Amino acid sequence: MKVHWPVEIAGTGVALPSRVVTNNDFASRLETTDEWIHQRTGIRERRIAEPHESTLGLGTAACASALRAANTEASEIDLLICGTITPEHTLPTTSCQIQAALGCRHIPAFDQVSACTGFVWSVATAAQYIASGFAKTALVVGAECMSRITDMEDRGTAILFGDAAGAAVLRKATHPDSGILAARMGADGGQALAIWVPAGGAKEPASTRTVNERLHYLRMNGREVYKFAVSKMQELMKGTLDDAGVKLDELSLVVPHQSNQRIIESACDKLGLPTSKVVVNIDRFGNTSAASVPVALHEAMSAGRIRRGDLVMLIAFGAGLTWGSVLLRV
Ligand code: UT7
């Protein structure tokens, strides 16, 4: 949809566990190889949290770093949204705990549980709070400890995921032409079981049986999700540009969810978008769910790949199934 949400990114930050796990670390204990993983996914290594590290600490550190980059105090934040499917606890929300850890005022803080789409939906949500005047400055974070819900005995998923957090401070645009020009958000609950965690909710509470049957780990129909992701990513990129009346060659950079390098390349190839205009860091971090877009965004901003006036698209898809995009004039 064509929109006019006058917001800008004031600063970004990331937090990563220090432990690096390479493909060869999996090859030594699962029936897999570095070659298979790299060819099928683009991944070389990922970060995995140590036992003392978790979503709250990573999310808080990423937010603190984004606040410093934005030259903004925690007390100036009016809204905090945390995209996560691996919350610190089932209750309360991780966003409330980050709010307290940072020393924010008693501002609204809520979690966004749409998996890999979490950060993009959080940006679209926060932007509307800012556009409506409800908030002037918002802190948006994607924080995940995917290793805590990943079955490390399942080679189909163990090799894919990583842990990370990325955050951005959004505020009312200071330049008249800056802001979000188009956004799309969608969901198809008919495909809910394409990526899911069978137990731990109201239907299958934790029991000895659910633990023994490994029902607390993420399950995924990789092939189905792959097909969905390629066609949805291409459709979203084209549709979002059309909504804003922007031509493909006017687009400066795409920051996509890092799910699989082949998915990203295939969608860009079908659309005719050169890969030089796409941020890819899956080789170093794997798929970090809601953290993947903000980590890639932070790397692109730090490397000087995003300048004022650029047209940048954030785009993601994931469990739900859900999808979302935001086209931003920086
Ligand atoms: O972020 C949320 C969204 N998630 C995604 O976007 C993930 C989308 N899906 C994918 O990225 C890919 O489907 C995977 C990377 C998960 C799998 O790649 P694939 O090329 O689709 O493989 P496949 O599932 O079709 O399996 C092909 C073969 C199978 O063996 P058989 O049945 O042909 O004998 C698998 O058992 O590869 C086997 N396989 C592996 N072999 C070595 C699956 N995982 C591995 C592995 N190492 N790690």
- Span from the CA of 104 to the centroid of ligand 1 (angstroms): 43
Q: Is 24 a catalytic residue?
A: no
Question: Does the beta carbon of 318 sit less than 6 angstroms from any atom of ligand 1?
Answer: yes
Is pLDDT above 90 for 260?
Answer: yes
Do residues 317 and 233 make contact, with C-beta atoms less than 8 angstroms apart? yes
- Alpha carbons 74 and 85: distance in angstroms, whole number: 24
Give the per-residue pLDDT at 203.
97
- Summarize the confidence of residues 55-80 as an average pLDDT: 98
Nearest to 144 by CA among 215, 82, 193: 82
Distance between first and last Cα of the chain: 18
Give the per-residue pLDDT at 149.
98
- Span from the CA of 157 to the centroid of ligand 1 (angstroms): 8
Q: Which atom of ligand 1 is nearest to the CA of 157?
A: 16
The CATH code of the domain that includes 307 is 3.40.47.10
Q: Is 212 a catalytic residue?
A: no
Q: What angle do CA 54, 106, 112 make, to 5 degrees?
A: 45
When the pLDDT of each residue in the chain is averaged and rounded to a whole number, the result is 97
Q: Is 287 a catalytic residue?
A: yes
Give the per-residue pLDDT at 295.
98
Return the H-helix or E-strand segment holding 118.
Answer: helix 118-132
Question: Does the beta carbon of 117 sit less than 6 angstroms from any atom of ligand 1?
Answer: no
Tell me if residue 150 falls in helix, strand or coil: coil
Question: Does the beta carbon of 89 sit less than 6 angstroms from any atom of ligand 1?
Answer: no
Query: What's this model's pTM, rounded to 2 decimal places?
Result: 0.97
Give the per-residue pLDDT at 24.
96
Is pLDDT above 90 for 28?
Answer: no
For residue 245, the enclosing domain spans 1-330
Q: How confident is the model at residue 212 (pLDDT cuts 50, 70, 90)?
A: very high
- Alpha carbons 219 and 217: distance in angstroms, whole number: 6
Percent of the chain, pLDDT > 70?
Answer: 100
- Domain total of the chain: 1
